[in-house]
Amino acid sequence: MQDKPVVIGVAGGSGSGKTSVTKSICQRFSDKTILVIEQDYYYKDQSHLPFEERLETNYDHPLAFDNDLLIQHVRSLLNHKSINKPVYDYKLHTRSKEVIKVEPKDVIILEGILILEDPRLVDLMDIKVFVDTDADLRILRRMVRDIKERGRSIDSVIDQYLNSVRPMHLQFVEPTKRYADIIIPEGGENYVAIDIMATKIAQILSKSNKNSLQKSIEN
Ligand SMILES: Nc1ncnc2c1ncn2[C@@H]1O[C@H](COP(=O)(O)OP(=O)(O)O)[C@@H](O)[C@H]1O
Ligand SMILES: Nc1ccn([C@@H]2O[C@H](COP(=O)(O)O)[C@@H](O)[C@H]2O)c(=O)n1
């Protein structure tokens, strides 16, 4: 393993294609190389609240996330220590009781709508990416996904979009684009951008491997 894992932040609006981009990058490397940490899994625990109250939470506001825990976990990974990653249940709107023990890897991808919003997280990143997709495509993709995979109705998706997703996107998500080193239009199927990202990661890893080899020869 190299001296310090490379940390990559992948931000972008809900439905922009962050997960798809991240998966495509991961597919270009062995399973042992990249660890993905989803910011969504670090939504504050709401198991103490009744289900009806959890429906009222604004899940697109920075305060909905437990970034302190996320930062603590990223720092542990950077120090080559394993973490107990939380698991999130979108149907119950809270963390699951289980956690997954994950080991550090050479590359850590932090993915989430507001991953570039907290300067403490941005400071830990080597590469910052913003997946930029028009709002009409994002809501269409989200509608299909939330109904199929997250147990939502058409009405609830529309209501949530108008009342929190859209206004929070404009206030908090979109402004973080300015911190990105790379902006990927359209997300998941932009294979040129995905190849460029993969090449950059491979280059960093090979440079770092050469440096470690050099150090071990010198010692
Ligand atoms: N380029 C694309 N064309 C069509 N559908 C896409 C594309 N990129 C992503 N999707 C679909 O849109 C939905 C949201 O994409 P996802 O990658 O999960 O976005 P995010 O993680 O930003 O919310 C998923 O169901 C995904 O399969
Ligand atoms: N209980 C929850 C938690 C989050 N959301 C929505 O998820 C979106 C972020 O996930 P993406 O994969 O779409 O980036 C965010 O916009 C929240 O509104 C939710 O609906 N319910």
Q: Which atom of ligand 2 is nearest to the CA of 111?
A: 14
pTM: 0.95
Nearest of 50, 48, 46, 21 to residue 36 by alpha carbon = 21
Kindly report the length of the chain.
Answer: 219
Instruction: Please say whether the beta carbons of 95 and 88 come within 8 A.
Output: yes
Measured CA to CA in angstroms, residue 19 lies from 9, 15, 112, 114, 115 at distances of 12, 9, 9, 14, 13
Distance 210 CA to ligand 2 centre (A): 41
Tens-digit pLDDT profile for residues 94-110: 999 999 999 999 999 99
- Work out the angle at residue 172's Cα, subtended by the Cα atoms of residues 195 and 153, and round it to the nearest 5 degrees: 85
Q: Which of 22, 113, 166 to mutate to test the pocket of ligand 2 (most atoms within 8 A of CB)?
A: 113
157 lines ligand 2 (CB under 6 A): no
Residue in 24, 27, 114, 141 to alter for ligand 1 test, most ligand atoms within 8 A of Cβ: 141
Instruction: Name the class of domain 6-218.
Output: alpha beta
133-169 pLDDT, tens per residue? 999 999 999 999 999 999 999 999 999 999 999 999 9
Average pLDDT on 70-75 reads 98
Burial string for 59-68 (b: 16+ CB within 10 Å, else e) reads bbeeebbbbe
